[in-house]
Chain A
């Protein structure tokens, strides 16, 4: 992407001269003023030119719910990011499908996060979190993203897939490259490296499928579940569908929770009164978890495509136009969320946020995500009085993943 010029002034610049797809808005955490202007001045906003082509921006909470719920007029095909995914790897993932195909594929895997399976996984996840936290270097500054957020999320993913534990860093790598194509999200990955990496991912998981089949045990890992479900028992024979759904679950379980794990530490440091509330009353952890997810909104947007000419919010959206729902903006919309720009761990209705999306594509792993964050914070509170942020975070270069590369911290034991 051509990013030589500075970002235009957030307040003075006419809206039609601002590129809302510029990944620097997230990289620099400078998006707040730009998107507040869209919500106030042009909530259904057409941008005629961008490196990803023209697109509409939807920025108010209620409008996003309306678009997200209307899968007839706003299709998820062919993809759910502003950019294009390219045709070199035609992975099929149900997040980028409409009914009825979407429904069949989603149903095949959603049992993975059914309550019974979550209960079975909780103990194992807690053990992993305990080990990671017990290994942290006390008395020195370290990178929370590397030592905690990536470490724990990757361990959890390896556990969910029954993936060889010693190779688990590969899951993070595949997740990172899957969503980082320059033409996709403004990321930095070389297309050939991306292609090679994803082919290795497919080969590894194909081998894992056959190994698991040969073991013939009744594990509750994701691959065993796919093998047991009649609708997906032969998914390995449909490689692009197998890989698409693997990538969806890897990225969906990785970029998201990982960044909420970091975002929570940062938010509590920026809001010390909330940290005091938490230390005084740990029963606030579940509502704090929802607030952290709202505050972070790890995926900045989802894209739809208009299936017909349609009037929306007083604007004429044409058939095939890209329509981008900016979740991060909806989550700061004062029209729908009281004190939306404040981090309040005991707010009245913490689950009323849009980070999981709404409608038939609503996040399938939402309860697993909440469970992981809850366990993390329960175990943090058993060990540390305070996780102190020691410097500025560095953020991901993407218009899609709203997350962190690094966050220097120190832990203070109880």
Chain B
């Protein structure tokens, strides 16, 4: 199980043993990590599981699709390394990955 660290906006960090084949969002929810709302339940339709992937891990998270890009484009706080965590499928290559959470999900 790859270890993934999620850092809340206030700096609190949480390292979880992530389950491969499942989304980062589902892993965060299953581990009770605050800061990921995931209102739509993983349909890439709400933008409330936004994370910033630490640069060196960004390529490991794969390509975003046009719908994810549309949802992210509505976020005023979007950065180059923004992703929706429901669209990141955990793989063994992500062992040690760090993602930060935004101030607010909206």
Contact = CB atoms under 8 A, between A and B. Distances in A.
A102 B24 CA distance: 29
B60 interface: no
A69 B46 CA distance: 9
B71 interface: yes
Contacts of B67: 69
A360 B70 contact: yes
A68 B70 contact: no
Interface residues on B, range: 20 to 34
A46 to B, nearest CB: 25
A65 interface: yes
A1 interface: no
B45 A107 contact: no
B40 A358 contact: yes
B47 interface: yes
Nearest to B106: A367
A103 interface: yes
B74 A115 contact: no
Contacts of B76: 107, 110-111, 114
A362 interface: yes
B40 A65 contact: yes
A99 interface: yes
A219 interface: no
Contacts of B74: 103, 106-107, 110, 360, 362, 364
Among A69, A107, A367, the one with the most B-chain Cβ atoms within 10 Å of its Cβ is: A69
A99 B70 contact: yes
A337 to B, nearest CB: 10
Given A103-B73, A107-B73, A114-B76, A362 B47 contact: yes
B37 to A, nearest CB: 6
A353 B67 CA distance: 20
B70 A103 contact: yes
Contact of A351 (B39, B44, B70): B39
B41 interface: yes
A65 B73 contact: no
B106 A65 contact: no
A69 B47 contact: no
B72 to A, nearest CB: 10
Contact of B106 (A106, A115, A352, A353): A115
B78 to A, nearest CB: 10
Interface string A89-113: 0000000000100010011001101
Given A351-B39, A359-B45, A360-B71, 4 more contacts: A99-B70, A110-B74, A114-B106, A353-B39
21 contacts: A65-B43, A65-B45, A68-B45, A69-B43, A69-B45, A71-B70, A99-B70, A103-B70, A106-B74, A111-B76, A114-B76, A114-B106, A352-B40, A358-B40, A359-B45, A360-B70, A360-B71, A360-B74, A362-B45, A364-B74, A366-B106
* Nearest 9 A/B pairs, CB to CB: A358-B45, A115-B104, A69-B45, A351-B39, A114-B76, A360-B70, A359-B45, A367-B106, A65-B43
